[in-house]
């Protein structure tokens, strides 16, 4: 068992008038197979208000509605597995029926054909009239970065069973969100800032798409491991195993303070 680590990030908080500029709220923290922890998805908040939804798998929109009024105004997709995109189909319908403005949908360029094939090719997607999947969105293809609310977010391909199939999201000085990935020491050791909170995919057992508990000790320096907050585990029992090994985990509803983004 890994020796306990000394975490350097702050505890989860309930947002309020004293909230930092940015925080990250987890709507779900699981691998999609257990409803009690939900599909992994998070909301970047600015002064307690939703700015960017990261992934949109089954149940994500209902969890979003539980915390906020209305629909997300912007969404980033890490990859196109259904446990991370399934609720986009529901989102396009709700946006159409509510008359909401087009939702900014930030998608890594390589994922656009897959996303289109999986969600946008069904003929006559709504019985209420002429509508297709993309009409609810303002598609924002992303190569390696995008700007939102004056800050520059950076993308990096991760190790996820097929090259270029999943991407990490990084706001330097604030947070690094790995998405689904095997260990990526070439990213975390060389690109993370000292103030970045690192949210990392990790279950108890590894597979070709996901990091396992033993991978962390083998692949990462102690200073990186001490800053990890783990998500995308199978269930509550798996979360307890990760905690017993000395790591922190995100649970549904947890909110984490983030550092001030670097403007470089």
pLDDT score at 264: 56
| Tokens matching residue 84 | 């991370």
pLDDT score at 49: 95
Q: Judge residue 99's burial from the number of C-beta atoms within 10 Å of its C-beta, 0-12 exposed, 13-18 middle, 19 or more buried.
A: exposed
Q: What percent of the chain has pLDDT over 90?
A: 81
Is residue 211 classed as helix, strand or coil in its secondary structure?
A: coil
pLDDT score at 203: 96
Say which residue the tokens 């702050």 belong to.
Answer: 10
Distance in angstroms (rounded) separating the CA atoms of residues 232 and 28: 9
- Report the relative pairing of strands 151-157 and 145-148 from DSSP bridges: antiparallel
Three-class DSSP labels, 166-195:
EEEEEECCCEEECCCCCCCHHHHHHHCCCC
Distance in angstroms (rounded) separating the CA atoms of residues 94 and 139: 17
Low-confidence ranges of the chain (pLDDT < 70): 1-20, 124-129, 264
Radius of gyration of the chain (CA): 18
What domains does the chain contain, in order, with CATH numbers? 22-257 (3.60.15.10)
pLDDT score at 65: 96
Q: Judge residue 14's burial from the number of C-beta atoms within 10 Å of its C-beta, 0-12 exposed, 13-18 middle, 19 or more buried.
A: exposed
């Amino acid at each position: 068992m890994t020796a306990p680590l000394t975490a350097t990030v702050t505890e989860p908080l309930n947002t309020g008038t004293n909230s930092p500029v940015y925080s990250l709220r987890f709507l779900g923290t699981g691998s999609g197979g257990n409803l009690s922890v939900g599909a992994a998805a998070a909301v970047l908040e600015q002064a307690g208000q939703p700015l960017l939804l990261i992934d949109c798998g089954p149940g994500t929109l209902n969890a979003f509605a539980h915390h906020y009024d209305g629909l997300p105004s912007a969404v980033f997709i890490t990859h196109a597995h259904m446990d991370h995109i399934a609720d986009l189909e529901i989102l396009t319908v709700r946006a159409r029926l509510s008359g909401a403005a087009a939702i900014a949908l930030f998608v890594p360029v390589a994922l656009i054909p897959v996303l289109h094939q999986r969600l946008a090719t069904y003929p006559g997607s709504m019985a209420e009239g002429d509508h297709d999947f993309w009409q609810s969105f303002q598609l924002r293809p992303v190569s390696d970065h995008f700007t939102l609310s004056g800050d520059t977010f950076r993308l990096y391909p991760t190790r996820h069973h097929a090259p270029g199939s999943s991407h990490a999201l990084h706001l330097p000085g604030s947070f690094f969100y790995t998405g689904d990935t095997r260990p990526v020491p070439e990213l975390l050791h060389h690109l993370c800032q000292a103030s970045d909170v690192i949210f990392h995919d990790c279950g108890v057992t590894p597979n070709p798409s996901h990091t396992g508990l033993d991978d962390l000790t083998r692949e990462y320096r102690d200073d990186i491991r001490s800053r990890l907050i783990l998500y995308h585990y199978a269930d509550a029992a798996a979360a307890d195993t990760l905690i017993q090994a000395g790591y922190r985990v995100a649970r549904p509803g947890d909110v984490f303070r983030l550092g001030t983004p670097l403007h470089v």
